Structure 1
Amino acid sequence: MAGTGVPGAGAGGRTAGELLVAGLAVHGVDLVFGIPGTHNLEIYRHLAAYGIRHVTPRHEQGAGYAADGYARATGRPGVALVTTGPALLNIAAAVGQAYSDSVPVLVVSPGMPLRHPQRGTGMLHEMRDQRAAMSAVARLSHRVTTHEELAAAVAQAFAEFAVERPRPVHLEIPLDLLGETGKVEPIGPIGIRRRVAAPATVTEAARALAAAERPGILAGGGARAAAEPLRTLAERLGAGVLTTANGKGTLPEEHPLAVTSALHLPGAAEFVADRDVLLAVGTEVAPTDWWYAPMPRPRKLIRIDLEPAQLAVNARPDIALAGDAAATLWSILEGVPGAAPSDAAPWRARLRAQARVEAARWLPWLDALAASLDRDATVVADTAMASYYGALGALPAHVPGGFLYPTGFGTLGYAVPAAIGVKLARPERQVLALSGDGGLMFSVAELATAAAERVPLPVLVFVNGGYGEIRAEMRDAGIAPFAVDLPVPDLAGLAAALGGRGVPLADPADLPGALAAALVHPGPTLLIAPEED
């Protein structure tokens, strides 16, 4: 195709497998994660010719998390290729997590042949309805039936990623169609703009914020691409800023207006209840952000969200702005005058103190980590106690996306494969995975992926002998701990067996030196820290 850098079709046209790869290439895809199988070989035939790098994780769930990490690091869709049946089900948990956290991931799989009987024949990897299974966890599961529909489906997926709330899409191509030839060209990117909130509501919001005596801002993951106007507006208003876990780092956490990212702390709810105007940007205001109760109600709530329907969920706003976060914030700024006094300092001090008390078990390690990492480093956290009780509130993030965490769906095993995706997307940045020994074992095989790709990846794992959070919940419920105390394998030996290194750490003072070595070692390094129960 002229001007695209994509090879043209031969005289006989392209197979659907080649058409898919050409469609990915014209949309700028240069890296995919996946595992080849009997039914998807026609896709793999063409990847190298179109300049698309392929990374092979050791499990399809790892492919999904790696694509998720790549997408969060770049803002571009992550792509995963799997085969039929069990492979597709393996990636489903990762797709569910991407849906929960609004991450653009495209999963491509073969499907049963075009004229395969509905009741099945016992064919290899046969499922009754792959599309129904994936529709339960993805925004859309689309089975194509022609070359023309395939070309359109790829373009539609990327167009929707660009303008809608980004959520995962599954594309299914019948395995017989993959090898059939058609004279169809891929459809290139469609020039589109994200929606902008209605001018009247923007003016109303600006007036309310300008008149506020105690304004506040709550920034979610949807605000990460709006860091500059968000900071500018916060400074003009003197507004303290809370963030969700996915919004952590949107305002650098050393900024005097950055209050906390740990919304479950008591002071965060009290801060919100004290606001006469609260602006919530790019957040569902979800129960999982606040953990134990819905967000308290400020006197007046303004919400900005890309998805209009979301504005009717969880916390109904007094002023609703349906539009792109950055464009809408810039528009609001036009109606907000210069700097105002701020009451953020005492709230910031109070919340910082609460966070450090909650994180006391891990605090020396987290402080050593904070002192050792670059400002633009990315910490990819698993659903581990050290993450949500510790790093969320007590490990500062200085850039948008500096802390990545699987909220909502709350999967385990996210950190290592997602960190691989981040590091491959941003090789110039320091990337660290943070996990517990229970969650690590869900995807520990991906250390072999990092080793094969020579990815410098420190993995800090806190060892508490199993599932520490559930153990604590059992005790709180008056249940003797049951099925949560697990023997810890030789983690250093396991890391070595998978092509990496294992470094036991006796004390936080050991961390800086071990971390410095791990950040330049061409492969994964498991940094093994003891944890008091």
Structure 2
Amino acid sequence: MSDPAQTRPLGAQISHMLKSRGVDTIFGIPGVHNQEMYRGIEEAGIRHILARHEQGAGFMADGYARASGRPGVAYVITGPGLCNVMTPMGQAYSDSAPVLVLSSCLNETAATRGQLHQMLDQEVAAGTVCDWSETAQTPDAAYALIDRALAEFQTKRPRSKHIQVPIPLLEGEAKPAPAAAPAISIAHSAQIPAHIAAMITAAKRPFFVLGGGAVHASEPARAALTALGAASFSTYAGRGIISPDDPLHYGAYLGRPESADVAASADLVVVVGSELAEVDLWRTDLGHTAPMIRVDIDPEVLAQMHGSEALLMDSFGFFTQLNAALADHTAKTSWKPQPVKQARARWRAEADAERPGIVPVVDALREVMPEDAMIYSDMTQFAYTGKEVWDMERPGHWHHPYGFGTLGYALPAGIGGAAARPGLPTCVIAGDYGFQYTVQELGTAVELGQPLPILLWDNGKLKEIEDSMVRAQIAPNSVMAHNPDFVALAKAYGAYAEAPKSFSELKKAVTEAFAADGPTLIYMTADMTQD
């Protein structure tokens, strides 16, 4: 057995350090510039999952992080490898996923030109799409930066981070990283200020918006809203926080223009864990006229909301403290279930009319989707509709590239998510165009033997862009593309593939895919018959 205190090349020591900090999986692609990072992976007992493209590795790390709640780690090479992973880094930054990218870098670029994989300023380039990007010039600096990243994932809004290490430093001998510091304990004891508690308990029409930052507070959130008799919306990322059976829950229809009228009828608005970003509202403001209380762990979010009561507090602590304040509270709500039910039915019908043929397929899939399935979707019309009409029973089980909005997310992210939850159901939803951004990652899913249903919606074009052009009175241009035979392509990779012609065949294919010994592409079109 090797001496844990022995010196090793720094690249190997980094892998041993990550293992000691709880990292069990790394996604990446080895190359001549980062091979030293691979020297210690097997010795440290870390599983490495080989992607087909660095973009895939980054999305896999993102999917792993969202499924597990632990950091997703990716190893990439200098230059093009780092550039290829920048899109996933931007997505993870936007959606608050704890992704750590470790790359090699050249130790000198100012005086020399023409080096392999050379960039003018790799650190700065990466820093444009993540929380921070730093260069470690010594082994101790590399260890300190890794510990800083891991600590910030626990204590701050989790966002992607990049650490690069010069190649000669990776190759050089280094002492082991210091022992891990004691685990950080997160306290939830902060008190809600008395005047904010009084505002909430006095409201007769309290109105809550629950975002992705509140997914870990579902149980106390449900209890608090029931005690208050409050109406609520969730953002797309917040679906499942409130039960879809709650008679005063409007669902994920916040982007519907009419939701502004609902907000305007409230006498108090409470927003928990949401930026109320463009991709949440699809308008400039919520529509409220009543006082607003913002609860968030990100000071930047709170600083932007002038005229609101700002509470820097995590969602679980907020709802736990709120429930304590509501111990003897009697709801005085004037919200009624019937208007909520009618609005949801009206908005569902609007979604069906806007993108015909999708809602019935969604309903068919919901019938056979396991309750604990984790879904990863791409930028596709099927997902846009599904995010509104597909109610989630539990939070944090539908992941989508919300803010950055990149194509090609679903398949590799689903692979990462399935790797984080072995034995539990994971499903991918993609469109015909975006799927081809990362189709090569099918090879990874086949290698891993993942029972991964890949629901591919093919409308034969960039339909969302075509519709947008038409609305803008632009003649649709370059929205048609030649597609491959997706079924044959999946089989060429060694995956299973089905092309159901009816809803019954679709449901059978999905059920069998969850029990298969590898991924199954399920090819869906609007031509499927209802039976």
Q: TM-score, normalised by structure 1?
A: 0.94
Partner residue, 1:229: 220
CA distance in 1, matches of 2:234, 2:52: 34
Structure 1 position 290 matched with structure 2 position 281: yes
- Equivalent residue number for residue 319 of structure 2: 329
Q: Does structure 1 conserve the Cα–Cα contact (< 8 Å) formed by 2:457 and 2:524?
A: yes
Residue of structure 1 aligned with 2:419, choices 418, 424, 439: 424
* Pairing 1:219–2:210 present: yes
The 8 Å contact of residues 385 and 469 in structure 1, kept in 2 or not, is answered as yes
SS of the aligned residue for 1:172 comes to strand
Correspondent of 2:299 among 296, 308, 311: 308
Could you say if the C-alpha distance between residues 251 and 16 of structure 1 is closer, same or farther in structure 2, counting changes exceeding 3 Å?
A: same
In structure 2, the residue matched to 1:372 is: 368
- Whether the 8 Å contact between 1:302 and 1:317 is mirrored in structure 2 is no
**Contact 1:271–1:347 (8 Å) recurs in 2:** no
Correspondence list, 1:420-459, <5 A: 420-459=415-454
Q: Which of 323, 339, 351 is the aligned partner of 1:358?
A: 351
Q: Is 2:27 the counterpart of 1:33?
A: yes
What residue in structure 1 maps to residue 199 of structure 2? 208
- Tell me what 2:132 maps to: 140
Give the 3 Å change call, closer, same or farther, for CA 416–317 of structure 1 in structure 2: farther
Please state whether the residue corresponding to 2:27 is helix, strand or coil. strand
Report the counterpart of residue 403 of structure 1 in structure 2: 398
Which stretch has the larger CA shift, 423-432 or 68-77? 423-432
Verify the 8 A CA contact 1:273 1:297 in the aligned structure 2.
yes
Measured after TM superposition, the shift of residue 300 of structure 1 is 1.4
Residue 110 (str. 1) matches residue 89 (str. 2): no
Q: Secondary structure at the match of 1:380?
A: strand
The one-character-per-residue Cα deviations of 1:89-140 (angstroms, maximum 9, x if unpaired) are: 0010010011111111000000112xx2414332211111110100000101
> How many aligned positions are there?
521
* Residues 187 and 348 of structure 1, relative CA distance in 2, 3 Å threshold: farther
Deviations, residues 402-455 of structure 1 (Å, cap 9, x unaligned): 211111111001111111111111123221111110111111111111111101
Q: Distance in 2 between matches of 1:34 and 1:291?
A: 36
The question of whether the paired residues in 1 share the 8 Å contact of 2:201 and 2:329 is answered with no
Deviation at residue 287 of structure 1 after TM alignment = 1.5
Given that 1:164 and 1:194 are in contact with CA atoms closer than 8 Å, whether structure 2 keeps it comes out as no
- Aligned match for 1:72, one of 66, 75, 78: 66
Aligned: 1:385 with 2:376: no
Letter in 1 for 2:491: A
| Letter of the structure 1 residue corresponding to residue 317 of structure 2 | A
Cα deviations across residues 502-522 of structure 1 (Å, max 9, x unaligned)? Answer: 211222232110101111112
For 1:509, which of 500, 504, 507 is the aligned residue? 504
Coordinate RMSD, CA, aligned:
1.9
Identity between Structure 1 and Structure 2 (%): 36
Give the match for residue 80 of structure 2.
Answer: 86
Task: Please report how far the alpha carbon of residue 349 of structure 1 lies from its aligned counterpart in structure 2 after TM superposition.
Answer: 3.5
Structure 1 pair 117/434, CA: closer, same or farther in 2 (3 Å)?
closer
Match of 1:319 among 279, 288, 309: 309
CA contact (8 A) 1:240 1:342 kept: no
Shift of 1:491: 0.6
Mean alpha-carbon deviation: is it higher for 92-101 or for 183-192? 183-192
Q: Which segments of 5 or more consecutive residues in structure 2 lack a partner in the other structure? A: none
User: What's the offset of the Cα at 1:56?
Assistant: 0.8
Picking from 34, 40, 44, the partner of 2:38 is 44
d(CA) in 2 for partners of 1:231, 1:427: 29
For residues 362-390 of structure 1, the C-alpha deviation after alignment (integer angstroms, 9 at most, x for no partner) is 111100111111222112111111111x1
Determine the C-alpha separation between the residues in 2 that align with 1:127 and 1:409. 24
Partner-residue secondary structure (3-state), 1:401 = coil
- Distance in 2 of aligned mates of 1:472 and 1:21: 48
Three-state SS of the structure 2 residue aligned to 1:334 is helix
Asked whether 1:275 is paired with 2:255, we answer: no
Deviation at 1:7, TM superposition (A): 6.9
State how far apart, in whole Å, the 2-side matches of 1:123 and 1:183 are: 29
Structure 1 residues without counterparts, runs of 5 or longer: 1-5
Question: C-alpha distance in 2, partners of 1:351/1:266?
Answer: 13
CA distance in 2, matches of 1:64, 1:339: 49
The C-alpha deviation readout for 1:293-337, integer Å capped at 9, x for no partner, is 322224011111101221022x43532110221112211222124
How many Å separate the matches in 1 of 2:316 and 2:450?
A: 33
CA contact (8 A) 2:190 2:317 kept: no
Shift in CA distance, 183/487, structure 1 to aligned 2, threshold 3 Å: closer
Residue 462 in 1 paired to residue 486 in 2?
no
Paired amino acid for 2:113 = T
